[in-house]
Amino acid sequence: MNLSADMRFDIAVIGAGAAGLSITAVAAQLGLKVALIERDRMGGECLNTGCVPSKALLAAAHAAEAARRAGRFGIRLSEPRIDWEAVRAHVQGVIAAIAPMDSEARFSALGVTVLRGEARFLGPDSLTVEGRRIIAKRIVIATGSRPAIPPIPGLDRVPFLTNETLFAMRDKPEHLLILGGGPIGLEMAQAHAALGCRVSVIEAGSIAAREDPELVAGLRMALVSLGVLLHEHSQVTAVESVPAEGGVALVLQDGGRIAGSHLLVAAGRTPNIAALDLPKGQVQAGPRGIATDRGLRSLTNRHVFASGDVADPDGIGPRAFTHVCAYHASIFIRRALFRLPARVDYAALPRVIYTGPELAQAGMTEAEARAAGHSVSVLRWPLADNDRAVAEGEAIGMVKLVVARNRVLGAGILAPHAGEMIGQWTLAISQRIKLSAMAGMIVPYPTRAEIGKRAAGSYFAASLFSARAKTLVRLLFKLP
């Protein structure tokens, strides 16, 4: 190792994924000397093996399903022919189209020093990358996460897929087994089912366990109607290789057995911190990630911050969403660069399962609000009572609001494009906007935005149409 060639920077960012790139771009444009260290591909998991390819595959799947369902509008189409190689080309093309925004060339043009290789701590303010010593006033760990592989007997002896390898698969699966019923598992289940694959989802608990069960019920119906076989509350005790039966089989605790051609493991995420040699950097971490304060600074090394999937500011684990990476970047910029008292607040954090229909949630679910001791009112408005949803034949779903004292504590939406609809409720929760203001919004007709407005308005219906209100109107009406 050549330690004589020290490289000094204001900020060293480890990881060129969503979190690291956001911080690097802003810091460089503010005139700081920044090193960006990446051992693999620029853009990280989101661009290459996560959000971007999964949504591109889902777009193809939704197009196929729309063709199958066109008959409800009087449009008669034959069963879509799935050209798997062309679908793969579409996915890779989307990645290629977005990649320049995350490229080494773009960041070099911003004045960033891009270093390719594995970063390891040498001391509290120093790193080594391929034999070069990096010294920085601030070090940001933004190394992201990788798929968690459960310790199931036999799993290490069979070929299996994760999101890191799924999109490189050349052949269309005949029968895809998906281990895990969280967002990744459900999105990929629907995508592959709509593209003509048999799909079985095996989940130890309930699918989408974090979400409101009332909304999950509608999502479950949508998946089943597409032909996805859901095995909930099914504990896998072993994995076997069975070429004669298709490739791989999962052995269940109840004695059941499910065989398929391919296995996708979608059983959660684990932070990428093993290679960093954190003890030398005096950085405290655990299985859930880097222990930080609410400003994302390491609890044990004031030189170090964490951002994205590796940051654990509240001790209950990271929130592995790309939009959290951007949010963390804003916290770091405000706190570390402008010395403002910025702190993470997840009270209004939105999340979306991008199935069809989508399931979006911001703030507390009904169960979470009640568990926290709130006396809540629950407001619902179904898509079936929305003219736009009826006109488009997409009337399954609802908006559900959890309300206390004229404020929205949480909002859940099951609807097409629910991810686009949740934004106004994220704002309402974070800014503590009164429910009366949300009910008084003027929204265009016909749109699905009316559903949330109607749900909010229902909170006041009992008072508006009460006997007291009727008496008052009759008295007022007698005035000249």
Question: How is residue 435 written in tokens?
Answer: 């429910």
44 and 121 in contact (C-beta within 8 Å)? no
Q: In the 8-state DSSP scheme, what is residue 337?
A: I
CA angle 99, 102, 106 (to 5 degrees): 110
Q: Do domains 7-42+103-147+270-337 and 155-267 have the same CATH topology?
A: yes
Domain 350-464 CATH class label:
alpha beta
In this structure, the number of other CB atoms found within 10 A of the CB of residue 90 comes to 16
As a whole number of Å, the CA-based R_g of the chain is: 25
Q: Is-cis flag, bond preceding 416, omega within 30?
A: no
How many angstroms separate the Cα of 203 from the Cα of each of 19, 225, 233, 263? 30, 18, 6, 13
Domain range annotation of the chain: 7-42+103-147+270-337, 155-267, 350-464
Residue range 7-42+103-147+270-337, CATH number: 3.50.50.60
pLDDT tens string for the chain (480 positions)?
A: 344 468 999 999 999 999 999 999 999 999 999 999 999 999 999 999 999 999 999 999 999 999 999 999 999 999 999 999 999 999 999 999 999 999 999 999 999 999 999 999 999 999 999 999 999 999 999 999 999 999 999 999 999 999 999 999 999 999 999 999 999 999 999 999 999 999 999 999 999 999 999 999 999 999 999 999 999 999 999 999 988 766 999 999 999 999 999 999 999 999 999 999 999 999 999 989 999 999 999 999 999 999 999 999 988 777 888 999 999 999 999 999 999 999 999 999 999 999 999 999 999 999 999 999 999 999 999 999 999 999 999 999 999 999 999 999 999 999 999 999 999 999 999 999 999 999 999 999 999 999 999 999 998 887 777 788 788 888 888 888
Question: How is residue 429 written in tokens?
Answer: 């929760």
- Angstrom distance (rounded) from CA 219 to CA 459: 26
Given the structure tokens 């170090």, which residue do they identify? 304
- Angstrom distance (rounded) from CA 457 to CA 231: 39
pTM score of the predicted model: 0.93
Task: Provide the Cα torsion 467, 472, 477, 480; round to 10°.
Answer: 170
Residue range 155-267, CATH number: 3.50.50.60
